Amino acid sequence: MVAVKVLHGTSDKIIQAQFMTEMGTLGKLHHFNLVRLYGFCFGKDLTALVYEYMANGSLDKYLLKENNTLGFEKLLEIAVGTARGIAYLHEDCQQRIIHYDVKPANILLDRNFNPKVSDFGLAKLHNRDNTHISMTGGGGGRRTPGYAAPELWMPFPVTHKCDVYSFGMLLFEIIGRRRNVDNNVPESQEWFPMWVWKKIDVGELQDSTLVSELLLEKHKEMVERMVKVALWCVQYKPGLRPMMSAVVKMLEGSEEIPQPSNPFQYLMDNGFTAALPHRYSSYNCNSTTTVTTSSYCDSSVIAVDSNIVIADPI
């Protein structure tokens, strides 16, 4: 079995050539926490990416359903494995690879629930000498609200630290086993990351009911560690966010985690927080934002028989 992800195509020859080059490179990546990209086909009306099949689907269905079957230790393993995969893209490849769309739906789980970072349809390769990347028109229009870093919503240069921010938002959802924005909870808890910060700021984190398993003593240190890492990852200024290799060490407990500063202070000072839950509550895939790189909105992943032959794009 393989999985096929279908994207909308483009007739722009420059984008087509760039996309084919990048997919050829991504297809050569090998890491335990990355989904293998077997091949792709490309056309003006349709693009398809062919991945290895993951028996347990995507992480979001285990986080956002009431019948969650994953224990907290397994969720921590998934968080660490995901961080390792992103660290490999950022730090261990010849060219730095920025994923740009890290979220639970793009973390797939194999038959043993090992996490694999997937969906490289929006990933970009960048020379390590270029510390910042210009994205005309604001990159946020092709990202998922609620996970996209603040700099992606503005016409400013971005770095690989935008993936760190997205991972932090993913980590919050792992901690809470809920969407970061939920209009069905008390207003003070609507935006989960802000609520968590307020709890940790006044020393009430371990007294709060973030998830039911927090009541178990053995999980308290683990959760506090994850919360601190998440807060560092979502710092408003990219330079304050850690490298993903450091995130791995902090989650594993092999590196001390400093007390995080308030990542939402800028938003609070400028009166943006009231609008945040509403802004992040929906996502229009047909955004009209103009970007200079591959602009695709995803359809669902389908499982198909493995006897598909994909031509070598190189």
At position 272, the amino acid (one-letter code) is: F
**For residues 11 and 277, what is the distance between their CA atoms, to the nearest angstrom?**
36
CA-atom Rg of the chain in angstroms:
19
Alpha-carbon dihedral angle through residues 170, 174, 180, 185, given to the nearest 10 degrees: 180
Judge whether 193 and 234 are in contact, CB under 8 Å. Answer: yes
**Which residues lie across from 107 on neighbouring strands?**
117
What residues does 6 pair with on adjacent strands? 48
Distance from C-alpha of 272 to C-alpha of 280, rounded to nearest angstrom: 12
Q: H/E element holding 108?
A: strand 107-109
Q: Which residues of 116-139 are buried (b: 16+ CB within 10 A; e: fewer)?
A: bbbbbbbbbbbeeeeeebebeebb
CB under 8 Å to 27, separation ≥6 — which residues?
Answer: 37, 38, 39, 40, 313
What's the distance, CA 43 to chain centroid? 27
H or E, element range at 2: strand 2-8
CA atoms of 25 and 313, how far apart (whole Å) = 10
Residue where the block lists tokens 């997919």:
23
Q: Is residue 101 annotated as a catalytic residue, yes or no? A: yes
State how far the alpha carbon of 50 is from the alpha carbons of 72, 106, 194, 306, in Å: 31, 14, 38, 10
- From the list 45, 60, 92, 101, the catalytic residue is 101
- Give just the sign of the alpha carbon dihedral 90, 94, 99, 104: negative
Catalytic residues, which ones?
A: 101
